[in-house]
Amino acid sequence: MGVFSGETRAWRERCAGASRGLALLAAVVLGGGCRSYAYRAASLPREVVAPGVVNMEAINLAGLSDSPENSQWIRCGDVLEVTMVTDFAKLTAATTPVRVADDGTASVPLIGKVEVVGMMMEGAERAIAAQGIARGIFRTPCVTVTMKQQRKNRVTVVGAVKKPGVYELPRGASSLLAALVAADGLSKEAGPELEVRRANESAGASGVERLALSAGRAGGAVERASHEDRPLGAAEPPMTVKVNLAEAGRQAQASYALGDGDVVYVAKRALKPVYVLGLVRKPGEFEFPGNQELRVLDALALAGGCSSQVADNVLVLRQLPGREAPARIAVSISAAKSGPENVVLAPGDTVVVEPTAATVVVDVLQNLFRFGFTSAIPMF
């Protein structure tokens, strides 16, 4: 009995000491002074709200296609097949492949150079026949022109695509969509931004020039990148056009044609992780999902849930552009479960489950009873 009464007396003393410590801890928590200002989750100003997450898997890339050109439209670099019948008595015909030069002319045998660029096949036939008669070579030639081979555009696709490389695209179908399809589509690391760098030698009415000119109609989907002032006499840098895939996919009126020698760069999406600290079972760093929202309760679930059953106060620290100190967002877990305060997190946010008087009391009592009961068991 003496042993048990001594242990009981010691246990009561520990209880008394724990009670005094409990009162002190509660006083510290409850009377620790005014907390620094924090935004309430239910009424965040616009500048503090997390930016929306772009689901790359849901982007409709069909909007990046361009209206295909008529295959009968003649451009520089095309190879034409010209057939002329000049002797109706014998019906002899001569067929010759002819390449359209950079000056827009085709060198037709016996007739010489004839300007054909920008014409349809019927117009080129009439132009060649007219020049043959005007130059006194033929009286009534019968000319047939067909497209033997369209010039192809060599487009380089790099960055966050599955198969980066250089691809040859038909001149009449050299769109952003065709380039991305040739590269086997976007990779998992792809972000919503890409750049198109136009080759200097593709000056004139090339696709990227049309792409840049369409920026005013595309609702912000297309933006011409700015360049620093160049020294006098320096070569003009390649024009770079920025395209937002999420916006461009919804714009049907913009042109997304590419020119020969253009480079398409798809930027990777770099998302900072989310940190979950405080009264959670598995505090640490967690990867931010790329294609879906991450809310406060989702972050707590990643960290194994709260380590205290009565924990309710959560503080979200969010770094905003142009501010040194992070914005502080106060969240109630109970209110978040009902919806209004389950705020959307941003990449790089820190989520802290804070201790309160209730969590301190419960923690002390749990430790007290656990220690008290185990110490009261006699050892044999």
Model confidence pLDDT, tens digit, residues 207-229? 444 444 344 344 445 555 544 44
Give yes or no for residue 236 having a pLDDT over 80: no
Q: In this predicted structure, which of 38-42, 155-159, 296-300, 344-348 has the lowest mean pLDDT?
A: 38-42
**Average pLDDT value for the chain:** 79
| Domains defined for the chain, CATH in brackets | 2-52+272-374 (3.10.560.10), 65-69+152-268 (3.10.560.10), 79-149 (3.30.1950.10)
* Largest CA-CA distance found in the chain, in angstroms, rounded: 139
Going by their DSSP bridges, the two strands 263-268 and 152-159 should be labelled as parallel
Distance between CA atoms of 297 and 328, rounded to whole angstroms? 17
50-70 tens-digit pLDDT: 887 777 777 878 777 766 666
Give yes or no for residue 178 having a pLDDT over 80: yes
What was the pLDDT predicted at 30? 47
Contact 238, 200 (CB under 8 A): yes
76-126 tens-digit pLDDT: 889 999 998 876 556 567 788 999 998 999 999 889 999 999 899 999 999
Query: Where do runs of H (alpha helix) occur along the chain?
Result: 2-30, 121-134, 176-182, 207-213, 245-248, 296-302, 333-338, 357-376
Q: How many other C-beta atoms lie within 10 A of the C-beta of residue 8?
A: 11
What was the pLDDT predicted at 232? 47
Percent helix, percent strand, percent coil in the chain, to nearest 5:
30, 25, 45
Distance between CA atoms of 308 and 286, rounded to whole angstroms? 21
288-333 tens-digit pLDDT: 987 788 999 999 999 999 998 889 999 999 999 888 899 999 999 9
What was the pLDDT predicted at 227? 46
Distance between CA atoms of 91 and 359, rounded to whole angstroms? 103
Long-range contacts of 214-221 (CB under 8 A, 24+ apart): 214/253, 214/254, 214/255, 215/241, 215/254, 217/251, 217/253, 217/254, 218/247, 218/248, 218/251, 218/253, 218/254, 219/247, 219/250, 219/251, 220/244, 220/247, 221/247, 221/248, 221/250, 221/251, 221/254
What was the pLDDT predicted at 206? 42
Give yes or no for residue 179 having a pLDDT over 60: yes
Rounded to a whole number of angstroms, the CA Rg of the chain reads 37
Q: What is the DSSP string of 147-203?
A: EEE--EEEEEEEESBSS-EEEEEEGGG-BHHHHHHHTTSB-TTEEEEEEEEPPGGG-
Contact 172, 152 (CB under 8 A): no
Highest mean pLDDT among 221-225, 228-232, 355-359: 355-359
Structure tokens at 143: 């000319």
What was the pLDDT predicted at 218? 42
259, exposed or middle or buried, with CB in 10 Å at 0-12, 13-18, 19+? buried
Structure tokens at 177: 């969509």
Rounded to two decimals, what is the model's pTM?
0.63
What was the pLDDT predicted at 219? 46
Distance between CA atoms of 305 and 281, rounded to whole angstroms? 6
Give yes or no for residue 252 having a pLDDT over 90: no
Distance between CA atoms of 318 and 272, rounded to whole angstroms? 12
pLDDT band for position 246 (cuts 50, 70, 90) = confident
158-170 tens-digit pLDDT: 999 999 999 999 8
What was the pLDDT predicted at 70? 64
What was the pLDDT predicted at 275? 96
